[in-house]
Structure 1
Amino acid sequence: MSELQIDALVFDVLGTLVDEPAGIRAGMRELDPSLDSPAQIEELLSMWQQHIDREQRRILDGGRPYATSDALDLEAARLVADAAGVDDPTAVAALALSGRRLPPWPDTASGLARLAEQHPLIGLSNASRTALLEVNAHAGLRWHQVLSAEDALTYKPDPAVYQLAVTVSGRPPERLLMVATHAWDLRAAQNAGLRTAYVTRPVGDPPTAADQFDLYADDLSDLADQIDSDRGK
């Protein structure tokens, strides 16, 4: 690996810094307390995730006009509620908001604080601006700037989303380090010219043997150690 010369760190949020599935599972249990079977919960979670992935792809492919993550979450919540036999609109609306009440990973707060001592931190998420406000507040995320794909009216991995971070930073893309637990996210950032760091999470999309990212870290503390070590060369 060549020496990193980084002016700012760009972080994926959902999955990388917060446990998105855990928050949605909790929302499902509130929707219907009788859902006590892990298999039931996982089946409904898969239904939610597949809907979000499918509709984001449709938007990226031009098969559907842009819709915010809030709209897609509400659609997913309705599908889950129908499958669970719940028809209370208030309960469905509450479930749709469960994607904003996401617990941070144990190392997130301390890791961001440590990294922020050396570099500006930019959040870059497919979540809407409104959702990010609540996600950040609930999880206690520390940012110097947070950007939503909503500002580009598209979703990652569209290059326009990564360009948001490049534009805001005022730096060339190769001076930005994209940090994510999703290999697909890092590949797209790499194609946009950013440097890349993969962080292991239980809910991530692991790299393949063909991937060549700049850094591979077990958590944010490990990432900070590697960046510090590289700066000291």
Structure 2
Amino acid sequence: MVGSHDIEVVVFDVLGTLVDEPGGLRAAIRRAVPAADDASVDALLAVWQQHVEREQRCMTQGRRAYANTQIIDAEAAQRVAEQAGVTDRATIAALSTAGQRLPAWADSVAGLERLGRDFPMVGLSNASRAALLRLNASAGLRWHQALSAESARTYKPAPEVYQLAVDAAGCPPDRILMVAAHAWDLRGAQAQGMRTAYVHRPDGDPPTCSDDFDQRVEGLHELVDALTVT
């Protein structure tokens, strides 16, 4: 359990934690392939997600030169289009930028506003700088600082990405709280000495019995209540 006296800066993952990435991508795929049924949309979403995860893993392992998320998303959109038989260039182009127009979870905007009254807040995302700018604007997310893994030319959970947040915070990592809906992300932050809080989201990556995170909450307001109690 962490309290307000333990933390100086709060760092949030964005994709999946503050915005509904799977839901937003499903909606974009439905627009691109209006005849697809639910099962087909889910299968196409899996094509997208598997491509992104595989390519980012290749980059963190040094098996592919760094490419930002705009490039990877364009590749994923092309794969989805090929699988679905979509050939219209405008449709594929719109699909490739779907990751820049993801809806915020219902508690995200208000939770950030509440927390921002008491703590400096940093967004730390694998999204490219340009994609993160547009995503923040589209979802209505407001930060004191937003950092992209593009600055480290790699992807979380590479330690260089978390170091961006530590450097920006200007305090010891154990005074920084990393908040995410993905246990793999929190493990990466924990390995760099940061405190950790898991927030439950649909389609997230839940902790295992061996994970020892500082906080586990069902929603953002529960976390804010824990951190802002006097």
Q: Which residue of 2 aligns with 1:8?
A: 9
**Contact conserved, 1:108 with 1:220, CA < 8 A, in 2?**
yes
**Contact conserved, 1:199 with 1:216, CA < 8 A, in 2?**
yes
Confirm or deny that 1:175 pairs with 2:175: yes
Where 2:6 maps in the other structure, the secondary structure is coil
Q: Which residue of 2 aligns with 1:65?
A: 65
Question: Which ranges of structure 2 fall in alignment gaps of 5 or more residues?
Answer: none
Confirm or deny that 1:165 pairs with 2:188: no
C-alpha distance after superposition, 1:192-211 (max 9, x if no partner): 11000000000210000000
Where 1:179 maps in the other structure, the secondary structure is strand
In 2, the alpha carbon distance for the partners of 1:226 and 1:170 equals 23
In 2, the alpha carbon distance for the partners of 1:56 and 1:100 equals 18
Q: Which residue of 2 aligns with 1:210?
A: 210
In 2, the alpha carbon distance for the partners of 1:99 and 1:24 equals 7
Question: Which ranges of structure 1 fall in alignment gaps of 5 or more residues?
Answer: none
Distance apart, 1:42 and its partner CA: 0.2
* Residue identity opposite 1:77 in structure 2: A
Distance apart, 1:2 and its partner CA: 6.4
Distance apart, 1:90 and its partner CA: 1.7
C-alpha distance after superposition, 1:26-53 (max 9, x if no partner): 1111212112x11000000001000000
**Identity rate of aligned residues, in percent?**
56
C-alpha distance after superposition, 1:99-152 (max 9, x if no partner): 111111110111101100110000000000010011100110010000000000
Q: Which residue of 2 aligns with 1:74?
A: 74
Q: Which residue of 2 aligns with 1:20?
A: 21
In 2, the alpha carbon distance for the partners of 1:15 and 1:32 equals 23
Question: Structure 1 length as normaliser, TM-score?
Answer: 0.96
**Contact conserved, 1:173 with 1:194, CA < 8 A, in 2?**
yes
**Contact conserved, 1:19 with 1:203, CA < 8 A, in 2?**
no
* Residue identity opposite 2:204 in structure 1: G
Question: Structure 2 length as normaliser, TM-score?
Answer: 0.97
**Contact conserved, 2:115 with 2:228, CA < 8 A, in 1?**
no
Where 1:39 maps in the other structure, the secondary structure is helix
**Contact conserved, 2:2 with 2:227, CA < 8 A, in 1?**
no
**Contact conserved, 2:100 with 2:131, CA < 8 A, in 1?**
yes
In 2, the alpha carbon distance for the partners of 1:228 and 1:108 equals 16
1:127-138 alignment to 2 at 5 Å? 127-138=127-138
- Equivalenced residues, count: 229
In 2, the alpha carbon distance for the partners of 1:215 and 1:22 equals 26
Runs of 4+ residues over 6 Å off in structure 1: none
